[in-house]
């Protein structure tokens, strides 16, 4: 006797057997019981959720010798014929392979004939969305006025491809995905019937992999039974599924979230050593990150990746959205790479770095509030490179902590204002106390190419062209000096004049901090020496945009995020409570004429965020049209 | 008791946007014309004008039947006849034998036209026949319609459930009737249609889903937008479904763009008849906000409400995001994501557009 797969052997035979579609079963049973069966039904929903099975059970209910009955006997000749697939009056048509008008015309002709053995005829048109428009039109007439003895059940996985005219002539039922627990229970029942021993975790793994489709779960289970030859363990189930062990992906992502590159790479090594297929691993990571993104947005996450919900909220939707893009790019690179592991290692390291760095919003806030932490003297700040930027986690973790912040615990300069608790204060003061690593002129020269690239990204092509003739000379405090050969007077004048802001913006982005530019034509200064940006007397109104430009520079995926906004509110609160120094108060006044200090802060931050986002827009690269 | 026949003109036309309404009217007319004989299969002949030309109809319109004293020929999809065919049928209609009536029906979109018939036929119907026209349900009448349908079906339905049903289906009489029938069947012995039942059983129409999705996105409710995505996408993330979602979103934003353009010119969607033809002609042919709204007040109102939350800049920015998503989906960009991830990314981008200040003017 030929082998019958589980999905067919355990196909529902009554309405009670149909899992997860109680809304459909109940309505159809009531319809049969009350004689309110309509002549055309449309079952729509994902594959493997019971559309065709329900249609067959409905056919039994209508055609059963003891019916029409909501509970077909399953024993009469008609019920048995339907179960065996040999009932003359249950006509199943695969619309995917009978999609033309001729086939539908033929159907229309045959519909008129009385049933052969039952009281009615039931037509099941599977994958009905595959019909041609002409065939749909031909079907329309039949659906409008079907003979009294004919019932139609149309089934589709793609409702949007079914014309509205057809939908409006049918009673539509949407089939839902089946919950993991119910799939697991169904598999358990099959295992019991078959005398197969299976670990609950193995069934859970299969249920998860089926993603709501019972038929898929049954097929996978079938494979696992055939493969195992004995007890089905979770490892065996994963082997059959070809998925990366969940724990391994969780550990890998946790290591990345902690910016622990060594651990990240060693976990990747372990996976590779265990023979894991790298493209498949990348897909698994993508799935996990997608769930993390959902968790960070508060949409809820699947049980599978529950452990990653907290890191996800910590990382934030902004970075996670960016991560998805990076993974998308990684997938492309992986396909072309001769050294796939190296390619994946680089991608993961890049993502870990993205997660460790502050987001655009955080940076904008930090920059806006920074003058408060060092408001007193004109002493120039040391340069801060992106690599030396305060890691995101230290800021957020400390902010969340109940312990006194570093700003509170450290002695303050005599002239400094007394800092009130603020989510940003610890990061800023910590940064200031450690001191950013300086960028030497040589290093600036080494990164000169990046400045060019940055200008291209900003689409400032003219500025980029003019800058070709310049060379970086020195970096003193916040001032970058660039030099032109005397024959490039025009270039020097333009870059020192109307295009100066663009060059400053590009430089600020590359260096990760606001800087200003002066131009030399030979040895002659063509621009006035700007005042140091960090000087307290510098009006905040001027300082803001540059600061924001810097903050925006490294983060190409700004996403509003609930936690960020919450933090932002807390930040604002913290700032408001902070007493003003004379210098910063003066700076505030230049921004606007606020009614109160808190209003002023709010406005300043709002303006800062707006400018950040505007700058992002200006510099965004679109693919070529 | 025998049903009484009424004297009606021999030629009648039924013009209805709703299939069910048209069917009800035809049944009612048959009963008026034929009385008890309305159920006599020899008394009623049905032909489909899209499959039967006037010449093939001639035997039905000229001869008498031995089996029925009075007869009615029902011609469905009469608008399918060309103007020439309609002129051809006219002499036959003018010379119908006694006891024979003809009902011409026009149902669906064609019924929205003010004159679905050729001019001579229209003149004849007005002077010697009778036209039964069933207008589209107005948005404001949808909920009362649901209430009366519940009464007819003998079920109770509270206002919240009725409102939810209208919200999901829109003022589409056929779909409302179908959903009411389904809900009443589901209610069964309980005799009560609950809000939960409506949510469980009634899928949103795709058009209504787009409106709800755009509402969520415009208000920055990314969480809700994510949940709504499930209404568009099968779980396996088929490229085609995502492509369709992108198409629907792009189409909707283009409609919003046109709405804003009309508003800027001083016109409202609720008063489209005031918009000069010249201005309408400048709008894109597809999608065209004037054609899309048609007489649908609910759509006009919804689009106007949504337009208030947008500027041209936010619409353009949204379209750019959709464009990038489209390129990603097709693998044209240097990144490749599963199609459902593309949709989710797009939703998170569009949902945070305002927060990110995207498209500020």
Indicate which of B182, B203, B226 best probes the interface with A, i.e. most A CBs within 10 Å of its own CB. Answer: B182
- Placement of tokens 């990046």 in the chain: A450
Question: What would the mean pLDDT of A11-37 be, rounded to a whole number?
Answer: 93
What confidence tens digit (pLDDT) does each residue in B171-188 have? Answer: 888 889 999 999 999 998
Q: How confident is the model at residue A30 (pLDDT cuts 50, 70, 90)?
A: very high
| pLDDT beyond 50 at B284 | yes
3-state helix, strand, coil in chain B (%, to 5): 60, 10, 30
Contact B360 A610 (CB under 8 A): yes
| pLDDT beyond 70 at B157 | yes
Least confident segment among A129-143, A472-486, B151-165, B247-261: A472-486
| pLDDT beyond 50 at A363 | yes
CB A147 within 8 A of CB A178: no
Contact B203 A44 (CB under 8 A): yes
Contact A623 B336 (CB under 8 A): no
- Domain ranges in chain B are 11-134, 139-201, 206-355
Asked whether the ipTM of the predicted complex exceeds the cut of 0.90, the reply is no
For position A416, what pLDDT does the model report? 36
Question: What would the mean pLDDT of A37-44 be, rounded to a whole number?
Answer: 93
Distance CA(B43)–CA(B66), nearest Å, equals 10
Contact B226 A177 (CB under 8 A): no
| pLDDT beyond 90 at B150 | yes
Q: Please, what's the b/e burial string for A123-146 (b: 16 or more CB within 10 A of its CB; e: otherwise)?
A: bbbbbbbbbeeebbbbbbbbbbeb
Distance CA(B68)–CA(B59), nearest Å, equals 15
Q: State how far residue B310 is from chain A, nearest Cα, in angstroms.
A: 17
Q: How confident is the model at residue A58 (pLDDT cuts 50, 70, 90)?
A: very high
For position A546, what pLDDT does the model report? 32
Contact B348 A559 (CB under 8 A): yes
Q: State how far residue B211 is from chain A, nearest Cα, in angstroms.
A: 16
Candidates B201, B206, B336; nearest CB to A23? B201
A256 or A563: which leads in pLDDT? A256
Whether domain B206-355 has CATH 3.10.180.10: no
Highest mean pLDDT among A42-51, A390-399, A485-494: A42-51
The CA distances from residue A334 to A277, A339, A347, A355, in Å, are: 11, 8, 9, 21
Q: Which residue in chain B has the smallest CA separation from A565?
A: B355
CA angle A503, A509, A512 (to 5 degrees): 130
Contact B185 A561 (CB under 8 A): no
Question: What would the mean pLDDT of B285-306 be, rounded to a whole number?
Answer: 80
For position A1, what pLDDT does the model report? 66
What confidence tens digit (pLDDT) does each residue in B192-217 have? Answer: 999 999 999 998 777 778 888 999 98
Least confident segment among A160-164, B173-177, B228-232, B340-344: B228-232
For position A13, what pLDDT does the model report? 92
User: How many Cα atoms are found within 13 Å in the side-chain-facing hemisphere of A243?
Assistant: 23
CA angle A94, A96, A101 (to 5 degrees): 95
| pLDDT beyond 60 at A149 | yes
Candidates A167, A294, A616; nearest CB to B226? A294
Q: State how far residue B127 is from chain A, nearest Cα, in angstroms.
A: 31
Q: How confident is the model at residue B260 (pLDDT cuts 50, 70, 90)?
A: very high
What confidence tens digit (pLDDT) does each residue in A483-507 have? Answer: 888 877 778 888 888 888 888 888 8
Q: Which residue in chain A has the smallest CA separation from B314?
A: A617
Indicate which of B329, B355, B360, B361 best probes the interface with A, i.e. most A CBs within 10 Å of its own CB. Answer: B355
For position A124, what pLDDT does the model report? 95
User: How many Cα atoms are found within 13 Å in the side-chain-facing hemisphere of A538?
Assistant: 21
Distance CA(B259)–CA(B315), nearest Å, equals 11
Contact A168 B234 (CB under 8 A): no
pTM over 0.90: no
Contact A616 B356 (CB under 8 A): yes
Q: State how far residue B142 is from chain A, nearest Cα, in angstroms.
A: 16
What confidence tens digit (pLDDT) does each residue in A238-272 have? Answer: 888 877 777 888 889 999 988 888 899 998 988 88
Average pLDDT, chain A: 73
DSSP string, A277-297: -HHHHHHHHHHHHHHHHHHHT
Contact A27 B333 (CB under 8 A): no
Least confident segment among A566-570, B76-80, B148-152: A566-570
For position A358, what pLDDT does the model report? 65
Q: Is A156 exposed, middle or buried (0-12, 13-18, 19+ CB in 10 A)?
A: buried
For position B10, what pLDDT does the model report? 84
Contacts of B238 in chain A (CB under 8 A): 158
Report whether the peptide linkage leading into residue B287 is cis, meaning its omega lies within 30 degrees of zero.
yes
For position A593, what pLDDT does the model report? 35
Task: Domain B11-134: state its class.
Answer: alpha beta
Question: What would the mean pLDDT of B345-352 be, rounded to a whole number?
Answer: 86
How remote is the C-alpha of B204 from its chain's centroid? 14
Indicate which of B185, B242, B327 best probes the interface with A, i.e. most A CBs within 10 Å of its own CB. Answer: B185
Whether domain B139-201 has CATH 3.40.50.11390: no
What confidence tens digit (pLDDT) does each residue in A95-128 have? Answer: 888 888 888 888 888 898 999 888 999 999 999 9
What confidence tens digit (pLDDT) does each residue in A292-327 have? Answer: 888 887 776 666 667 788 888 888 887 888 888 888
Q: State how far residue A476 is from chain B, nearest Cα, in angstroms.
A: 34
For position B319, what pLDDT does the model report? 93
Contacts of A33 in chain B (CB under 8 A): 188
Say which residues have a Cβ less than 8 Å from residue B138's Cβ, sequence separation at least 6.
B171, B297
Question: What would the mean pLDDT of A153-167 be, rounded to a whole number?
Answer: 88
Contact B337 A324 (CB under 8 A): yes
For position A570, what pLDDT does the model report? 44
pLDDT more than 70, % of chain B? 91
For position A489, what pLDDT does the model report? 79
Contact A168 B200 (CB under 8 A): no
């Amino acid at each position: 006797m030929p082998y019958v797969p589980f999905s067919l052997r355990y196909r529902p035979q009554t309405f009670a057997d149909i899992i997860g579609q109680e809304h459909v079963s109940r309505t159809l049973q009531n319809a049969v019981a009350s004689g309110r069966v309509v002549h055309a039904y449309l079952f729509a929903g994902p594959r493997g959720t019971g559309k065709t099975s329900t249609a067959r059970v409905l056919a039994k209910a209508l055609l059963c010798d003891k019916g029409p009955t909501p509970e077909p006997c399953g024993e009469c000749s008609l019920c048995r014929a339907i179960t065996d697939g040999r009932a003359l009056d249950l006509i199943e048509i695969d619309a995917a392979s009978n999609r033309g008008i001729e086939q539908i015309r033929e159907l229309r002709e045959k519909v008129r004939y009385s049933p052969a053995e039952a009281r009615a005829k039931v037509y099941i048109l599977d994958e009905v969305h595959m019909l041609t428009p002409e065939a749909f039109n031909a079907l329309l007439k039949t659906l409008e006025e079907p003979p009294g003895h004919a019932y139609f059940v149309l089934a589709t996985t793609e409702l949007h491809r079914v014309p509205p005219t057809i939908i409006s002539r049918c009673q539509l039922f949407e089939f839902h995905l089946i919950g993991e627990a119910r799939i697991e229970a169904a598999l358990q029942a099959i295992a019991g019937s078959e005398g197969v021993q299976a670990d609950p975790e193995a069934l859970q793994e299969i249920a998860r992999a089926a993603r709501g489709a019972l038929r898929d779960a049954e097929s996978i289970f079938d494979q696992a039974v055939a493969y195992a030859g004995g007890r089905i363990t979770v490892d065996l189930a994963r082997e059959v599924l070809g998925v990366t062990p969940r724990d391994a992906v969780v550990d890998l992502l946790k290591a990345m979230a902690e910016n622990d590159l060594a651990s990240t790479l060693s976990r990747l090594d372990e996976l590779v050593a265990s023979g894991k297929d790298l493209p498949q691993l990348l897909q698994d990571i993508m799935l996990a990150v997608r769930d993390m993104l959902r968790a960070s947005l508060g949409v809820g996450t699947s049980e599978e990746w529950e452990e990653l919900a907290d890191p996800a909220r910590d990382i934030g939707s902004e970075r996670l959205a960016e991560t998805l893009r990076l993974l998308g790019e990684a997938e492309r690179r992986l396909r072309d790479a001769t050294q796939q592991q190296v390619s994946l290692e680089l991608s993961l390291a890049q993502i870990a770095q993205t997660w460790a760095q502050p987001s655009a919003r955080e940076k904008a806030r930090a920059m806006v509030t920074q003058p408060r932490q060092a408001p007193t003297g004109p002493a120039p700040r040391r340069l801060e490179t992106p690599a030396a930027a305060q890691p995101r986690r230290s800021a957020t973790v400390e902010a969340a902590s109940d312990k006194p912040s570093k700003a509170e615990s450290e002695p303050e300069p005599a002239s400094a204002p007394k800092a009130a608790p603020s989510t940003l204060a610890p990061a800023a003061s910590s940064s200031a106390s450690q001191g950013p690593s300086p960028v030497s002129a040589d290093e600036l020269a080494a990164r000169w190419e990046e400045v060019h690239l940055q200008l291209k990204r900003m689409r400032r092509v003219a500025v980029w062209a003019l800058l070709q003739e310049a060379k970086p000379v020195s970096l003193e405090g916040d001032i970058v000096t660039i030099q032109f050969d005397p024959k490039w007077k025009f270039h020097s004048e333009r870059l020192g004049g109307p295009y100066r802001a663009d060059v400053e913006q590009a430089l600020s982005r590359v260096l990760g901090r606001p800087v200003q530019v002066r131009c030399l034509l030979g040895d002659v200064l063509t621009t006035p020496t700007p005042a140091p940006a960090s000087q307290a007397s510098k009006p905040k109104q001027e300082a803001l945009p540059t600061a924001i430009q810097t903050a925006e520079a490294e983060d190409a995926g700004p996403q509003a995020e609930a936690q960020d906004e919450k933090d932002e509110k807390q930040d604002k609160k913290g700032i408001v409570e902070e007493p003003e120094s004379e210098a910063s108060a003066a700076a505030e006044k230049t921004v606007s004429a606020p009614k109160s200090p808190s209003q002023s802060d709010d406005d300043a931050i709002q303006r800062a965020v707006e400018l950040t986002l505007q700058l992002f827009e200006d510099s965004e690269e679109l693919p070529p049209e | 008791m025998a049903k009484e026949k009424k004297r009606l003109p021999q030629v009648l036309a039924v013009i209805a946007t709703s299939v069910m309404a048209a069917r009800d009217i035809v049944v009612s007319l048959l009963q008026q014309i034929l009385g008890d004989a309305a159920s006599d299969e020899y008394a009623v002949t049905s032909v489909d004008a899209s499959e039967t030309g006037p010449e093939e109809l001639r035997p039905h319109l000229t001869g008498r039947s031995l089996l029925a004293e009075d007869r009615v020929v029902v011609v469905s999809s009469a608008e399918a006849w060309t103007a020439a065919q309609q002129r051809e049928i006219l002499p036959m209609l003018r010379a119908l034998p006694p006891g024979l009536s003809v009902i011409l029906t026009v149902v669906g979109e064609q019924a929205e036209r003010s004159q679905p018939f050729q001019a001579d036929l229209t003149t004849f119907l007005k002077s010697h026949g009778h036209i039964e026209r069933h207008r589209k349900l107005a948005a404001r009448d949808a909920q009362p319609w649901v209430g009366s349908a519940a009464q007819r079906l003998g079920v109770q339905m509270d206002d919240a459930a009725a409102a939810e049903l209208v919200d999901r289906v829109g003022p589409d009489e056929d779909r409302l009737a179908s959903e009411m029938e389904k809900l009443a069947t589901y209610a069964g012995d309980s005799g009560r249609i609950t809000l939960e039942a409506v949510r469980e059983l009634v899928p949103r129409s795709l058009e209504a889903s787009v409106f709800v999705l755009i509402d969520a996105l415009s208000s920055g409710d990314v969480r809700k937008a994510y949940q709504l995505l499930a209404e568009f996408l099968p779980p396996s993330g088929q490229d085609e479904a995502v492509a369709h979602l992108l198409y629907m979103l792009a189409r909707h934003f283009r409609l919003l763009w046109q709405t804003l353009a009309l508003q800027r010119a001083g016109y409202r969607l609720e008063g489209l008849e005031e918009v000069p033809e010249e201005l309408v002609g400048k709008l894109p042919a597809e999608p065209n906000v004037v054609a899309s709204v048609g007489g649908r007040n609910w759509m006009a109102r919804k689009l106007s409400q949504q337009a208030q939350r947008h500027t041209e800049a936010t619409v353009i920015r949204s379209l750019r995001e959709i464009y990038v998503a489209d390129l990603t989906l097709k693998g044209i960009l240097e990144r490749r994501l599963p199609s459902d991830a593309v949709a989710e990314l797009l939703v998170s981008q569009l949902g945070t557009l305002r927060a990110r200040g995207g498209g500020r003017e």
